[in-house]
Amino acid sequence: MTQLAEPAPLEILVVDDNEDDVLLLQESFRELPSVSLMHAVHDGEQALAFLRREGSFAAAGRPGLVLLDINMPKKNGFEVLAEMKGDPLLRMIPVVMLTTSSREADVLSAYNGGACSFVTKPVSFDRLKLIAGHFASYWTTVVQVPKKPGD
């Protein structure tokens, strides 16, 4: 296989209230050197606080990509997406919906709301690892994400 350019390190923010899913994602990404750092927060309010570096997230890094669950307490994924896309400082961060849903209405709402991509969580761990690998290849070797402000 032809080697592409050296993958650009990618920092990902995972927003998911399901602990098991977060652990599985962490496990899958750990094997992929291109994902330099994965942060996890558990609801929509925390996600926005992280992105805006509020409260305990004052020192948070700016992620290159957000992986956003839909069904979450406090603020659901669509609400977080709407706030991000309405915020001039956050709107350029690509948001990938990562959810157990594959309902057409959810897919459509996600893209209409400015999501970049809609990924359905696979049921099996092997499949999740496969998906995580292709996911990381795409976002680190094929795509260039926006530079962080100040970089």
Residues at the interface with other proteins (CB under 8 A): 1-5, 91-94, 96, 102, 104, 107-108, 111-112, 114, 116-120, 122-124, 127, 131, 134-135, 137-138, 141-147
**Token couple for 143:** 């795509």
**Token couple for 25:** 């994602």
Nearer to other proteins (CB atom), residue 36 or residue 137: 137
CA distances 33 to 36, 44, 118, 129, 136, Å, are: 6, 27, 23, 14, 9
Nearer to other proteins (CB atom), residue 42 or residue 135: 135
CB of 93 to other proteins, least distance (A): 8
Nearer to other proteins (CB atom), residue 26 or residue 102: 102
CA neighbor of 60 nearest in space, from 115, 8, 11: 11
